[in-house]
Every structure is written in C-alpha cells, then in structure tokens.
Chains A and B, each alone.
Chain A
Amino acid sequence: MLALHGTGVGAGIAIGKARVISKPGDNIARYEVAEDDLNAELKRFKVGVENAIASLISAGEKFEDSIPEEVAALLETHSLILQDPMLQEETVKIIRDKNVNAEYALLIYQKRMQKVFDEIPDPYLSSKSADISQVIQRVQGALIESDESAEQSLNNQPDGAFDGEIIIANDLTPADTIALKKHQISGFLTNLGGPTSHTAILARSLQIPAIVGLHNALNLLRTGDLLIVDGKRGVILAGPDEVSLDAYRRRREKIIHRSQALETLREAESVSLDGQKVNLLSNVELPEEVALSVRQNAEGVGLYRTEFLFMNREELPDEEEQYQVYSEVLKSSDKSVTIRTLDLGADKQVDGGRVSESQGTNPALGLRAIRLCLHDLGLFKPHLRAIFRASVHGKTKLMVPMLSTVEELDQLFILIAEVKQELRAQGCEFDDAIPIGAMIEVPAAAVAADIFAHKLDFLSIGTNDLIQYTLAIDRIDDEVNYLYDPLHPSILRLVKMVIDAGKNANIPVSMCGEMAGEPEFTRVLLALGLREFSMDPASLLEVKQRILMSDIRLLEQALPAIMSEMEPGKLRQKVTALNQ
C-alpha cells in the first residue's frame, strides 16, 4: 500500500480504479519498471515498434497505386528509421539502464538525437531530426494504443468511457475539464494546481473528491491501480489493504449520509436567526448546469461564465451561436442570470489562435478579460449583441470582469449604447434596462470601489483573482500557493471597502469567488456586511445551513476585534471562533 499527499480540493471519499490520461507526444509519463518486469517492458517496446511499422504501411496503402513519389520516399525514410538498429538498441539500453517505461525511454532518446542534429550546420540535414521525432511519436502512440495501462487522450473518448474511474493527469486545462464532464468520474488527481485553480473549481462543481499539487502522482500511479482518494485530507492510498478499504467505505457512507441530511434544507429560505434575508446564487459554466442551480433552489445565477463556449474548438462561435446558448441559459431559469462577459486570456486560452498568439510572459497581468475585449471589438461586439438579443428570454444582468480603470467603463458604456442603437435600427428586441455591473477583482478597483459604484448598478467581488493580485501569488503555482490566504487582513479590508462602497452608493454587492462558497468564511463575510453569495451550486446547502444558524447582529459585534487584530494567528482564531 502506497500513500501520497497533496492538496485536497473536493471533499468526500472516492474509491475506484486509476486512469492515467495524457496526450501522446506532449506529455509522456515516466514510471519505474521493476527489474522483474524489464523483459515484459522490452517485449512491449518490440510490439510497439511492430505496430508502428504496420500503421506506417497502412498509411501508405491509403494511396493505393498512385502514391506520389515524395510521399513514398518519406514513408520509406520513416520505415527505415523505425527499423534502425541504433534506435532500437539505444532505446532498449535506456529502458534497462534507467528502469523506465518504453515511451519515456523513447523521449530521452529523441531529446538526445535532437541535440545531435541541432549541432549539424547544414540546415537541410539538421531538419531531419523532425522525421526522427515523428517516427518516435508514432512508436509512442502505438505503445499507448497497444497497451490499456497507458495514457489515453480525453477528448477522443466516447461519453462515459471513464465512468467510476479516478482520473490522473499532469494538469487539467479549463478546456480539458469540459471534456471531463462527459464522464461520470469518481475523482481526479493532478500534479499541478492549488486549491483555487480551475481543476479545484471543477471538482467542487462535480461534487467529487480531488487532490491537486501531487508532484508524483503521474509517475507512481498506473492505470488500473485501485485507489482510495480522501479529498478532505488530501491523501491517496494506492493498492489499499482490506482493513483500509473497509474503514474508508464506512467513512464514505457517513459523508453521503450527511449530504442527504443537508438535502432537507433545499426548500428552506435562507434567513438568519435575527431575520435577515441572505441571497444565495450559483455560479455556472454550462447551460446544463442551470438545472442544478434551479434544483438547489438558488435565487438565481450570480455568475454565468461565457468563455467556456469559446474553448476547446478551432473556430470562434459567431453571434448567432452565442445568442442560442445564452437564450437557452436564460430560458432555463425564471430567476435573474448575471452574464459575465468574456474572461479570456491568462489561463483560459482560445484554441482558434486568436488569443494565444500574443501571450505575454505574465498573462495574468496581461491582455485579458475586459482589456482583451475592448482591444478586439470584432470579438466583443458580437458577444454584446448576442447577450442583449438573448435578454428578452429572461432576467438578464451584465457583468464585466477585471475592471481596473474608469476609462474602460466609459468605453464599455459607449459600446453598449452603440449595440442598442444598432439593434433598434435592425428591429431586434432586447431588454433596455439590463443592469450593468462589474467584478471587483483587481486591487485598484477594490480600493477605488466608491468611484465605480457610482457608475454601476451592482458590484461583484471576485475573490480568487483579488487574493492572487493583492498577495502577488500565482494561484496555480503550487510552490507559492500556501501564501494564498482569504483571511489576510488586506483581503478582509478590501472586501469591506467594496461592501461599504456599495452601501453608500445604494447598489447591491455580491461575491462570486471561491470564498463565497466556503462555509468556514460564511460568518465572517456576513459580519463584513455581505448579503449576496454566489457559489458553486454544490456548496449552496452547506452555506445555507450556516446562515440559518447565524445571528448577524452578534457577528457584527465581533467584527471590530477581528479587523483590528494584528496577529495573523489570533485573527484566524477569532474567525474560527465565529463558527462555534
């Protein structure tokens, strides 16, 4: 039995078979091959080479008689490289000497050859390393296909192929996470990532246990291993014994039991002990998720992320496609839906190549979100038009992400006026009174929230980015994410400034970051004056339970002592004390 530790991001316990996923060629997994298994691995390599040769022959056969001479020559070169004694001997030597799997040995060999060829001065001969790389990738691909225990590419799998399994990946991009939703997986593990990365958000939305920041998971675990994943404690047990299995099965039962108990709160109105109404809304990504929001009896959608329609595809969606999707979202809820305009850039890149080309060295601080949209009106205007046109299908609110200057807001208002005028001229119907709000997630906007509050209809605090920017830490860099602290005094002060600015301007302030969905912070946020929480629908009942048991007047009395506390440890204690 092997135990691994990481950062647990989705609570609960999963027991299931491991499934290592990866895209062939760009992320070859390395794993140890025990001395006893070396011969089997060498045989696997031999079969992989044979299969690669067979796939090359079948590629040639596609041309039948009329195979062009150039192609024939290329296929011949590739087939000679495949049969090259040096490639085979050297790879076998690496497998033996380093006790690694065949795919990884090939990767090492490929890198060596790359180096040799890079030093060849003749550019034509030097470029031949590309042929070698292609051949090696063909063998790696053949190994992966010929062997059920190796990585499989997510997107090529039919719906439900990974049901019940625990997915293991180096990292999951937001685009990958969409593909994952096609499978009823029971948990996932990633080498990278922290508690507020997209993978973590995914885990919460799927209501499954997950562990991130596991440097070694990909290397030590293999497809088919039986795993226990304890999402709360961040522990993985591989190849567990019967005693552990039994204990964890019982704990899993208990957790399921508790979530069933929370179900009874579904219909309850979220009112505090002292009679104050608190609005609980949900964050959604996919139109289908609105149904979960409705089922959880949320007051509406506080954050609908539009960028997901733009990912995992070659071509950008046009106005009509966007209109259809936004209409579907609005129709499926009879409560308000806050549509956030495109938050592309940074860790969310469009496949079509539109955004990714001009990636700066620090994308989180670069051309993203509203900045990108105002920069690329060809992208932004059809987006705004689609939202306004869809607004006839439900209570729509519009929210822009990453606002940092008043000029951006002025430009936005001009654009909206233009869009409305165009739609009117074209005889398109739309809701003329859509409330316009902004996410406060850049510290500059939080400090100057009063300035923005006077120009907007509502504010929404995006804590994930606000914390990342305020504390200057990259939330997906697991070497610094221990510094990510929602209770840092600067964060509590900024949140309070934004809430107070909203009160003074008489506009609502909500919070749609991860912090809003964590029950341990519910009471301190109530004390700070927050009355609207938008979160993953999966967290809604637990937060509601906290609210039902809270007397906000008492919490408010405890606030000054928290805000003036100079010791971080004591501050944390005082916040924890609120929960008792």
Chain B
Amino acid sequence: MIERDIEVVNKLGLHARAASKLVKLTAGFSSTIKLISREQEVDAKSIMGILMLAATQGTTLKLTVDGEDEVKAADAVAALFADYFGEGE
C-alpha cells in the first residue's frame, strides 16, 4: 500500500469539475484509492465523496492506494493535483 501527502494547490479547490477529473482518472485503476482529510476518509472513485471533503486551496490530504497498479495510480493522482487539475492556476 502506498501512502502519500498531497496538497490542493489549485485556486478553486476540489470543486465539481476538479472532482470529475479525479473520478475519471481513478476509475481507470483497479487499486482501492482513498483520500483522507482529518477524520474523513472517502473513496476517490466517488464524486460525492470527493465533494464532501470540501477541500479548499492549501488543504493537505492523505492519499492511500492499495492494489496491483498502486504505483502508477498514486503517481497519476499526485500529478493531477500538481497540475492544478489542468486549470492553470
């Protein structure tokens, strides 16, 4: 299992469109992918779960990935966050 801290750097935070992108990405991996913010742990394949995190810019989340493609999945998710979800800011 991979565990890693990732920061929400994009201006709008994990809003609906960012969450949509994340869900479309995670759906392609067989691993179980979770995001944890304080006590709340959600399935990163559930758009509602991600929205419920209400993560704004500057929030640090814990990412856990468990499964066959866990390395690839963790890298891809981290890359999406670092890329500002393709929003440019």
A131 contacts B54, C-beta separation under 8 Å:
no
Task: Tell which of A6-14, A116-124, A167-175, A552-560 binds the partner.
Answer: A116-124
Contacts of A77 in B (CB 8 A): 16-17, 19-20, 47
Q: Once the chains bind, are A128 and B49 in contact (CB under 8 Å)?
A: no
With A121-B54, A122-B56 known as contacts, the answer to whether A85 contacts B20 (CB < 8 A) is no
Q: Does A113 contact B (CB under 8 A)?
A: yes
Q: Does A416 contact B (CB under 8 A)?
A: no
Pick from B12, B16, B43, B45: contact of A128, CB under 8 Å? B16
* B54 A122 Cβ-Cβ under 8 A: yes
| Contact in complex: B54, A84 (CB < 8 Å) | no
- Given A73-B20, A77-B16, A125 contacting B48 (CB threshold 8 A): no
A81 within 8 A of B: yes
Question: How long is the Cα–Cα vector from A131 to B47 in the complex, in angstroms?
Answer: 11
Say yes or no: is A243 at the interface (Cβ < 8 Å to chain B): no
B56 touches A84 (CB 8 A): no
CB distance from B52 to the nearest CB of A (A): 6
CB-based contact B17/A86 at 8 Å: no
Q: Which of A73, A76, A86, A128 contacts B46 (CB 8 A)?
A: A86
Which B residues are CB-close (under 8 A) to A85? 43, 45-46
* Residues 34 to 87 of chain B near chain A (Cβ within 8 Å): 43, 45-49, 51-52, 54, 56
Q: Does A87 contact B (CB under 8 A)?
A: yes
Total B residues in contact with A, Cβ cutoff 8 Å: 20
A80 contacts the other chain (CB 8 A): yes
B23 within 8 A of A: yes
Q: Which residue of B lies closest to A131 (CB)?
A: B16
- In the bound complex, residues from chain A placing their C-beta under 8 Å from that of B19 are 77, 80
Among A76, A117, A121, A131, the residue within 8 A (CB) of B52 is: A117
Contact between B13 and A84 (Cβ–Cβ < 8 Å)? no
Tell me whether chain A's interface is mostly helix, strand or loop, or mixed. helix
Q: In the complex, what's the smallest C-beta–C-beta distance from B37 to chain A, in angstroms?
A: 12
B17 → A minimal CB distance (Å): 5
Residues in B neighbouring A265, C-beta threshold 8 A: none
Cα–Cα distance between A48 and B56 once the two chains are bound (Å): 34
Inter-chain contact A120/B54, CB cutoff 8 Å:
yes
CA distance A87 to B46 in the complex (A): 8
Residues from chain A with a CB closer than 8 A to the CB of B47 are 77, 80-81, 84
Q: Nearest Cβ distance between residue B45 and chain A, in whole angstroms?
A: 6
Within 8 A of B (CB), among A104-148: 113, 116-117, 120-122, 124-126, 128, 131-132
Across chains A and B, the number of contacting residue pairs, with CB separation under 8 Å, is: 53
Q: Is the CB of A113 within 8 A of B13?
A: no
Q: In A46-77, which residues have CB < 8 Å from any B CB?
A: 73, 76-77
Among A76, A84, A124, contact of B48 (Cβ-Cβ < 8 Å): A84
Contacts of A128 in B (CB 8 A): 15-16, 51
Within 8 A of B (CB), among A277-329: none
Most A CB contacts (10 A, CB to CB) among B23, B47, B54, B56 go to: B47
**Cβ–Cβ contact A86 & B16, under 8 A:** no
**Residues of the B chain whose Cβ atoms lie less than 8 Å from the Cβ of A120:** 52, 54
Q: How far is the CB of A72 from chain B (nearest CB, A)?
A: 10
Partner of A73, one of B17, B43, B52: B17
B9-37 contacts to A, CB under 8 A, are 12-17, 19-20, 23-24
Q: Which residues of B contact A124 (CB under 8 A)?
A: 12, 15
CB contacts (< 8 Å) of A76 on chain B: these are 20
A76–B19 Cα distance when bound, in Å, is 11
Which residues of A line the B interface, CB within 8 A? 73, 76-77, 80-81, 84-87, 113, 116-117, 120-122, 124-126, 128, 131-132
Q: B residues within 8 Å of A by Cβ?
A: 12-17, 19-20, 23-24, 43, 45-49, 51-52, 54, 56
8 nearest A-B pairs in the assembled complex, by CB-CB distance = A120-B54, A86-B46, A80-B47, A125-B54, A77-B16, A84-B46, A128-B51, A84-B48
30 sample A-B contacts, Cβ–Cβ < 8 Å, listed by A number: A73-B16, A73-B17, A73-B20, A77-B17, A77-B20, A80-B20, A80-B47, A81-B47, A81-B48, A84-B46, A84-B47, A84-B48, A84-B49, A86-B46, A86-B49, A87-B48, A116-B52, A117-B51, A117-B52, A120-B52, A120-B54, A121-B54, A122-B13, A122-B56, A124-B15, A125-B15, A128-B15, A128-B16, A128-B51, A131-B16
Q: A86-B49, A122-B13 are in contact. List 20 more A-B contacts (CB 8 A).
A: A73-B17, A77-B17, A77-B47, A80-B24, A84-B48, A85-B45, A86-B43, A86-B48, A116-B52, A117-B52, A120-B52, A124-B12, A124-B15, A125-B14, A125-B15, A125-B51, A125-B54, A125-B56, A128-B15, A128-B16
